[in-house]
Amino acid sequence: MIRAVADTHAIISYIFADRRLSETARTTIEQIAVEGDQVAFSSIILAEIIYLSERGRIAAETLERLLRTVDGENSVLTEVPFDRHIAQALARVE
């Protein structure tokens, strides 16, 4: 079951065990993993990672590392598609 949704910063910080990830975010992700649930991230993050790595703003291996993490056995992270339904819902958020 998906219990949370993470943004680009949180996903990158988590996969690199970056100290800049807040303690709240880290413990939330870890607790969700212990309980066998998942944290979702939008597929649009994959494009953002490519963009940021091409411009040298993040490590070149970020995409590969994220995909390995997601494809790993019992991964806490799961990709969800960014489609028209998500875009329409997003447009309704104030």
Q: 12: which DSSP letter?
A: H
Round to whole Å and give the CA distance between 55 and 41: 22
pLDDT in tens, the chain (94 residues): 999 999 999 999 999 999 999 999 999 999 999 999 999 999 999 999 999 999 999 999 999 999 999 999 999 999 999 888 878 877 887 7
Question: What's the CA gap between 62 and 15, in Å, rounded?
Answer: 8
Model-wide pTM > 0.75 = yes
Q: Where are the domains of the chain?
A: 2-91
β-strands 77-80, 2-5 pairing: unpaired
